[in-house]
Copies of this chain bind each other. A is one copy, B any other.
Amino acid sequence: MLPSENIKDFLDQGPEYLPSVSVDCVIFGFHEQQLKVLLLEFKKTKAHALPGGFVFKNESTAEAAKRILWERTGVKDIYLEQFYTFGEPNRGNWDVHKATMASHGFDLTKEHWLLQRFITIGYYALVDFSKVKPTPDIFSDVGDWYDVHDTPPLILDHNRIVAKALETLRLTIDHKLVGFNLLSETFTMNELQSLYETVLDKKLLRANFQRKMLNLGILERVKKKFTGKAHKPPFVYRFNAEALDKQNS
């Protein structure tokens, strides 16, 4: 199918969506000591944006967010949390959308549904970087990871949305043990500490961090050790979900 046909399909879908409501996803990953965000780049205009979309009339907003995540990352069962709803009447200008559509041969009038006011519900997702293959959508040819502190200018108020998501993650990670979703199933204590240091943006002491984590009683030490460099091999840990449930109850 030609891209323009895809886009026509999309534009025709307008009436199937809940008016005025959109969903944007801030997808966090962790790689090489950096906290990353998944961003899309529009084909023609080279503008950057968060993966987002609209909500079908009989779909919950959380389901919409999951659907979008699946389309962009190919992963289901993702850790997903709503963090804020952005309800300003003027969240930025829509010229990029207009230009993008024009470049595909669709001249949208000011009254077109895509150019109306939308409030957007922000969800953030924590994913295992290694399991995710960024998938572009019909408007973007590239989906790629960016250091959260070094993002390009984004369309609309998406920079603010990223900032708010990061702020929420920071406040959350300390008392909700959410960080494990950003690592692969097994990990070393050092990896976990790097993650915390990156998110909280401050150095932590090995000794104390380790004790704190182990005292939570939610880490299971996998017997196997690491093989690698010229030093004592670290233990590999696994996150123990049952123990966490006990804590929360």
For A57, list chain B residues within 8 Å (CB). Answer: 89, 117
Give the interface centre of A60, A87, A117 by most chain B CB atoms within 10 Å. Answer: A87
Instruction: Please provide the chain A residues from 47 to 85 with a CB less than 8 Å away from any CB of chain B in the complex.
Output: 55, 57-62, 82, 84-85
Q: Are B89 and A59 in contact (CB under 8 A)?
A: yes
From A15-23, A27-35, A135-143, give the one contacting chain B: A15-23
Q: Tell me whether A155 is interfacial, beta carbon within 8 Å.
A: no
In the bound assembly, the distance between CA atoms of A85 and B61 in angstroms comes to 9
Give the interface centre of A57, A62, A85 by most chain B CB atoms within 10 Å. Answer: A85
Copies of this protein in the assembly total 2
For A55, list chain B residues within 8 Å (CB). Answer: 87, 119
In the bound assembly, the distance between CA atoms of A37 and B119 in angstroms comes to 27
Q: Tell me whether A88 is interfacial, beta carbon within 8 Å.
A: yes
A20's partner among B18, B60, B85, B89 (CB-CB below 8 A) is: B18
**Tier of interface size on chain A:** 20 to 34
Q: How far is the CB of A63 from chain B (nearest CB, A)?
A: 9
For A19, list chain B residues within 8 Å (CB). Answer: 19-20
Q: How far is the CB of A18 from chain B (nearest CB, A)?
A: 5
Q: Are B88 and A85 in contact (CB under 8 A)?
A: no
Q: Are B85 and A60 in contact (CB under 8 A)?
A: no
A60's partner among B60, B84, B89 (CB-CB below 8 A) is: B89
Q: Tell me whether A121 is interfacial, beta carbon within 8 Å.
A: yes
Q: Are B117 and A85 in contact (CB under 8 A)?
A: no
Q: Are B117 and A18 in contact (CB under 8 A)?
A: yes
A-B contact pairs, 25 of them (CB 8 A): A18-B20, A18-B117, A18-B119, A19-B19, A19-B20, A20-B20, A20-B21, A21-B21, A21-B87, A21-B119, A55-B87, A55-B119, A57-B89, A57-B117, A59-B89, A60-B88, A61-B85, A61-B87, A61-B119, A62-B87, A82-B84, A82-B85, A85-B121, A87-B121, A119-B121
A-B CB proximity, top 9 nearest: A61-B87, A19-B19, A85-B85, A18-B20, A60-B88, A20-B20, A58-B89, A19-B20, A85-B121
10 more CB-based (< 8 A) A-B contacts, given A18-B119, A19-B19 = A18-B20, A18-B117, A20-B20, A21-B87, A57-B117, A58-B89, A82-B85, A85-B85, A85-B121, A119-B121
